[in-house]
Copies of this chain bind each other. A is one copy, B any other.
Amino acid sequence: MASQSSDTRGPLTRFAVALFPGFQALDVFGPIDTLNMLSKQTPIHLDVLAKTLDPVSTRTDKSGHTAFETIVPTRTFADYINASANGSNGNAKDNDIEVLLIPGGGGTRDPDNIEEVVDLVRAAYPRLRYLLTVCTGSAVAAMSGILDGHRATTNKLAWDWVIAQGPKVNWVRRARWVTDGNIWTSSGISAGIDMMYAFVGDQYGADTASKLAFASEYVRNTDPDMDPFAGDGTNGVKKA
């Protein structure tokens, strides 16, 4: 299973997702379920990062949700950042994270919740091979400054708020997902699933991605420019 990427550092094996109170569950478990399945054939390690090792809830006191779930982290932001600080010369250490996924969710709008995730993204980015965001996760990346001058997309219902977080970002409204260098950003919630299949296809081969989607009985949107939610009043049908 050869990498389709031109990167000479070998196939990606070290992933992480960053959680914070009020993260959107499907932003995380849509893409990550694909990685879980991939890990039966490729030895992927996945860190679940959070501020502390306490379980992290999909709700916050302000979110208004009465249904919610809590997930157990495996590593703290500080542990990762401090480990990175010992070798932040652009060469990933053998045990360093190569791909960081930042989900969105209502919690991104709470400065008290999100400041440390912004700091995490800023500290991590120089050492990552790829940064991936889902939904309003791109607002977090924008706050960190690393999206400045780059193309990116986000959730369409949260559009006005997100783009205000990154006035120097080249925001692309009609997109299921956007790639710019080693930064992949997806549109709202469910779009993260399509982005991850595309990312897996890019890194591990189109056939691998197709087989995983088939096993998940998932009908992919394989066209990053096909976006039924861009705001033309349709729902599921591309404007001619």
- Chain A positions within 8 Å of B, measured between CB atoms, are 15, 24-26, 28-30, 32-33, 35-40, 43-46, 48, 55, 58-59, 63-72, 155-157, 187-191, 193, 210, 213-221, 228-229, 235-236
Query: Chain B residues with Cβ under 8 A from A155's Cβ?
Result: 217
In-complex Cβ contact of A71 among B59, B69, B221 (8 A): B69
Query: Chain B residues with Cβ under 8 A from A68's Cβ?
Result: 36, 39, 46
Q: Quote the shortest CB–CB distance from A67 to chain B (angstroms).
A: 4
- Whether the Cβ atoms of B38 and A29 lie closer than 8 Å is no
In-complex Cβ contact of A67 among B46, B64, B235 (8 A): B46
- Whether the Cβ atoms of A30 and B26 lie closer than 8 Å is yes
- Whether the Cβ atoms of A64 and B40 lie closer than 8 Å is yes
- Whether the Cβ atoms of B235 and A216 lie closer than 8 Å is no
Q: A26-B33, A65-B39 are in contact. Are A217 and B44 (CB under 8 A)?
A: no
Query: Chain B residues with Cβ under 8 A from A24's Cβ?
Result: 33
Q: With CB as the reference atom, state the residue of chain B lying closest to A29.
A: B29
